[in-house]
Amino acid sequence: MRAIVLLPVLMFVLIAGFFAWALLGRNDASLLPSALIDRPAPAMTLDPLLPDLPGLDVAALKGEVVLVNIFASWCPPCQIEHPVFMKLARENAVPIWGINYKDKPEAATAWLQRLGNPYKGIGVDPQGRNAIEWGSYGVPETYVLDREGRIRHRYVGPVTEEAWRDTLAPIVRQLRQ
Amino acid sequence: MKTLRFLLLLAIVLLPGAVLAVQPDEILADRALETRAREISRHLRCLVCQNQSIDDSDAPLARDLRLLVRERLVAGDSDTQVYDFVVARYGDFVLLRPPIKPITWLLWFGPALMLALGGIAVVVWFRRRPTATTAAAPLDAEDRARLQRLIDEDGA
């Protein structure tokens, strides 16, 4: 009989705890988990954006840990993450492959000329249909592929220095072991 | 005049509801296929807006997915195959009606479970109460004599 008095208190703690977890934790409901984690990256061969750089052949990415980045010149967050990719390319930290999403080739080319090109190769996806194969729901998105060509992580939004250091770099390091 | 004004007002109020996200160039010539496409689209979540179906949403990705659904249907897919195709890429989250599987049991059966627990609590509560009232001790001789005195006084 005494214990039942504590029941409302217990329920309050339970509900308050749930709210605290939902409000204070880093649970951004708009960030979706990928359905393709640990699944092979979708096979596709995309035409090159630039004449002197290869396009994207996903099957050829096997053998090393790589990043595949979906970007567009019309996408402001892509411009935010661009310097980080430039730095990674300079340091040879990890090969980065690009999918140019729903972009005009001239606009994308000018964008890369202005900001530099960190990509090993860029395939074009003018209709955005190939991005759907990746389960993409916006730009920018960055996928980490392991040596067997499986998707091991998806990062939604701009890859900032912190995002690289705290999230992506440890994954890349671990996959290389 | 008044009726006309009323009808006009009604039209203005109701018209926005009739404005569809589905663009004329998306609609299939085959009526049966289009009906199926609309039905499927109503059950697929737009991943950009997240609380609208792709049938309701004006987001470019929603349009891409609507076209994809229609393409699959034209290619001869069954409804289930179309759903599976989209779920394979976007996960169960893309379905506005979550499938029943162990991870969603709490979601589907939680309310019934809460109702059952509440029912049990109510039954336990009412079972306890009557035992407390019937357990009252019977009157002893002194009380009975006093009661009789009071009744007699009242009657006099």
pLDDT(B132) > 60? no
Beta-strand (E) ranges in chain B? none
Q: Which of A35, A102, A129 is closest, CB to CB, to B88?
A: A35
Q: Does the predicted model carry a pTM greater than 0.95?
A: no
Q: What is the structure's pLDDT at B80?
A: 95
Q: How many CB pairs under 8 A join A and B?
A: 40
Q: What is the structure's pLDDT at B139?
A: 82
Q: What is the structure's pLDDT at B18?
A: 57
pLDDT(A47) > 80? yes
pLDDT(A157) > 60? yes
- B74 in helix, strand or coil? helix
Tokens 């109020």 belong to which residue? B13
Q: What is the structure's pLDDT at B133?
A: 58
Q: What is the structure's pLDDT at B141?
A: 87
Q: Residue A134: closest CA among chain B residues belongs to which residue? A: B89
CA angle, residues A75, A59, A160, in degrees to nearest 5: 30
Q: Residue B92: closest CA among chain A residues belongs to which residue? A: A35
The answer to whether B143 faces chain A, any CB pair under 8 Å, is no
Q: What is the structure's pLDDT at B10?
A: 86
CB contact under 8 A, A30 and B61: no
Q: What is the mean pLDDT of residues A46-72?
A: 96
Q: What is the mean pLDDT of residues B139-148?
A: 88
Q: What is the pLDDT of residues B63-110, one digit of tens each?
A: 999 999 999 999 999 999 999 999 999 999 999 998 999 888 998 999
Q: Residue A135: closest CA among chain B residues belongs to which residue? A: B89
Q: What is the pLDDT of residues B3-43, one digit of tens each?
A: 889 888 888 887 766 567 788 888 898 999 999 999 999 99
Contacts for A50 with CB less than 8 Å, ≥ 6 apart: A109, A112, A117, A122
pLDDT(A27) > 80? no
